[in-house]
Amino acid sequence: MTATTEHRSRAGRSAGGSSGGPLVIRRGHRRLGHPRRRRSTLLTLLTAIMLIYTLLPLAWLAINATKTQTGLFRSFGLWFDRDFALFGNIADTFTYDGGIFTRWLLNTLLYVIVGAGGATLLATLAGYGLAKFDFPGKKAVFAIVIGAVAVPGTALAVPTFLMFSNLGLTNSPWAIIIPSLVSPFGLYLMWTYAADAVPTEILESARVDGAREFQTFFRISLPLLSPGIVTVLLFNFVVTWNNYFLPLIMLKDPDWYPLTLGLKSWNAQAATAGGEAIFNLVITGSLLTIVPLVVAFLLLQRYWQSGLAAGSVKE
């Protein structure tokens, strides 16, 4: 084990794994992987069993999105039918029932942009405030927010519905957006992130120079916080995009449904008397629903991997 081999294998491993750049030759305490370790075919094959388990259903979904309704019933599930109908299915998904799928997609985008975006903004401000300021009631805020994380979210759903119902907010976008604005997990991540990422000394000197707090926040702190913000935004994006229970109880009018609820209603349609079975559209719509998330996760993997690490290692 010479220094050269160790250096080379470290560089090789980290270039494949984390962010690259200057990190490649960093020699801190943080481990980039075992040096000198030989790859094992046996271990790779054993782990590949789990990989098949995680990827098989997604493969099934992609393959079956290429089949017509009749094709679904006459072909083997993990192989293609003789008719390749993917593009026809996509076109049908967007035009079926007067283009309601497009409406659901736009609704989902609205809930994600306003809800997840707003949640990220509030969590960033509050996480920064908790990490960098001392103020009366701070311990109470800490206790309340940590306690709230343990409250089962769905236990709140029925009372929230009744409250919103009394306020006349149900069956409107506000019923989805307002509850999405609070992300205790996002607050916690931003809080841990801001404590490390923004040096208190810089804030002190900005104060001495007479900068106002919000000026300091936008000019100095925000750029330093941006990797954490992307992580929180990504997780809020997933939570809001995948939201099902809240829309289920809040919305009656299909015009306000997000994609998740819409797909469920398409699937349930086959079970109702006289309802047309459109399993090919349910499958194609499902595939279309997960594509943006999968793409976001693949493009932003550097962020969610480090962000989760920051949040989960601390206890």
Using CB under 8 A as the binding rule, whether residue 4 contacts another protein is answered as no
Using CB under 8 A as the binding rule, whether residue 159 contacts another protein is answered as yes
Q: How far apart are CA 234 and CA 240, in angstroms?
A: 10
One of 3, 30, 253, 273 touching another protein (CB under 8 A): 30
Using CB under 8 A as the binding rule, whether residue 205 contacts another protein is answered as no
Q: What's the closest the beta carbon of residue 99 comes to another protein, in angstroms?
A: 20
Give me 294's structure tokens. Answer: 């999968």
CA 147 → CA 141, 152, 212, distances in Å? 10, 11, 33
One of 11, 109, 122, 220 touching another protein (CB under 8 A): 122
Q: Which of 161, 171, 166, 153 is nearest to 257 (CA)?
A: 171
Q: Which is nearer to another protein, 99 or 275 (CB)?
A: 275
Site residue total, another protein (CB under 8 A): 121
Using CB under 8 A as the binding rule, whether residue 171 contacts another protein is answered as no
Q: Which is nearer to another protein, 97 or 248 (CB)?
A: 248
Long-range contact pairs involving 299-305 (C-beta distance under 8 Å, separation at least 24)? 300/230, 300/234, 302/18, 302/19, 303/227, 303/230, 303/231, 303/234, 304/231, 304/234, 304/235, 305/18
> In the range 62-121, which residues lie near another protein by CB under 8 A?
64, 72-73, 76-78
Cβ atoms within 10 Å of 120's Cβ, excluding its own: 24
Contacting range for another protein; rule: CB under 8 A; set: 86-94, 96-104, 109-117, 212-220: 212-220
Q: What's the closest the beta carbon of residue 162 comes to another protein, in angstroms?
A: 6
Using CB under 8 A as the binding rule, whether residue 24 contacts another protein is answered as no
CA 94 to chain centre: 24
> In the range 217-236, which residues lie near another protein by CB under 8 A?
217
**What's the length of the chain?**
315
DSSP-assigned letter for residue 26: -
Q: Which is nearer to another protein, 72 or 94 (CB)?
A: 72
Q: What's the closest the beta carbon of residue 128 comes to another protein, in angstroms?
A: 6
